[in-house]
Amino acid sequence: MTDTPPNALHQPRRIGAINTLGLWTLYRKEVQRFLKVFVQTLLAPAVTTWLFIIVFSLAFGQNRPAVDGVPFVEFLAPGLILMSILNNAFANSSSSILVSKVQGNTVDYLMPPLSAGELAAAFIAGAATRGIMVGAVTAAAMMPFIDLVPDMPWAALYFGLGAALMLGMVGVIGGVWAEKFDHMSAVTNFIIMPLTFLSGTFYSVSILPEPFQTLSHWNPFFYMIDGFRYGFTGHADGNVVIGAAVVAGINLVLLVACYLVLRSGWRLKT
């Protein structure tokens, strides 16, 4: 049996171009953080979405006409699913960073040998995971009662994942910027919620008079919800190809912004 050299156990671990172990560890931490309270983070959004469905069904019943041949409830469901994806992806990354700042725990991810890109990837991936899982749970709860079989699976996957990544990145920037929970509530109440509600979640923008119909196309949330709904129903109020390009372009800009903000250490190291 060969003896192990005395200093072999004390050699520093070599890290390549990407710290895969550190990246995976931070990602796991982000996922386990919301899974420990899954009733609040996964089941509660599904219940909230069901309440929207019930209220709209009871309020309009059979009086609400179909939208381009799509029954209103089937038209409404994809928008509500994507709304839950957006809200939860944003909540995960923003709350994780803000809580760490408030508790003084930012050193836990600033001290390890993780680059700004690796930090951004872990936070964004964790947020996207929560958003997608919430969307999946919500859709699974609806499927026994609503036809949610995707007509265009690629569109549902692309826009669902793109939305989760986008709001995950917005959450990273918002979490770094915010210094207290009131700041985060302001972003949610005055930016995220209005853009979501005015994006065609509950209605078709084609029924809007001008200039509101044109203004809706300046709302990036419109393209995500419209594309996601197209994936399930085949109905779209806008050009799906343009929507896919808009989502990709915004995500690229946000990714660069997240990297630069984390690399600078702005409001994290002071």
Q: Give 111-123 pLDDT, tens digit per residue.
A: 889 999 999 999 9
**Minimum mean pLDDT range among 119-133, 238-252, 256-270:** 256-270
Higher-scoring residue by pLDDT: 71, 129: 129
Q: Which two tokens stand for residue 55?
A: 């209220």
Given pLDDT bands bounded at 50, 70 and 90, which one contains residue 3? low
CA–CA distance, 233 with 70 (Å, rounded to integer): 7
Checking if the pLDDT of 232 tops 50, the result is yes
Higher-scoring residue by pLDDT: 270, 79: 79
Checking if the pLDDT of 11 tops 80, the result is no
CA–CA distance, 116 with 265 (Å, rounded to integer): 9
Whether the Cβ atoms of residue 88 and residue 45 lie closer than 8 Å to each other: yes
Provide φ and ψ at 202, rounded to 5°: -105, 0
Higher-scoring residue by pLDDT: 62, 79: 79
Q: What is the mean pLDDT of residues 228-239?
A: 92
CA–CA distance, 227 with 216 (Å, rounded to integer): 14
Whether the Cβ atoms of residue 82 and residue 225 lie closer than 8 Å to each other: yes
pLDDT given for residue 177 in this prediction:
96
Given pLDDT bands bounded at 50, 70 and 90, which one contains residue 1? very low
Checking if the pLDDT of 184 tops 70, the result is yes
* Cis peptide bond upstream of 211, omega within 30: yes
Checking if the pLDDT of 231 tops 50, the result is yes
Given pLDDT bands bounded at 50, 70 and 90, which one contains residue 66? confident
Whether the Cβ atoms of residue 86 and residue 167 lie closer than 8 Å to each other: yes
CA–CA distance, 203 with 65 (Å, rounded to integer): 11
Q: Which two tokens stand for residue 45?
A: 């959004």
pLDDT given for residue 148 in this prediction:
87
Give the helix/strand (H/E) hosting 236: none
Give the helix/strand (H/E) hosting 259: helix 240-264
Q: What sign for the dihedral angle of Cα 180, 89, 238, 138?
A: negative
pLDDT given for residue 10 in this prediction:
55
**Minimum mean pLDDT range among 83-92, 127-136, 260-269:** 260-269
Checking if the pLDDT of 239 tops 60, the result is yes
Q: What is the mean pLDDT of residues 214-228?
A: 94
The overall average pLDDT reported for the chain is 90
Checking if the pLDDT of 8 tops 60, the result is no
Whether the Cβ atoms of residue 84 and residue 48 lie closer than 8 Å to each other: yes
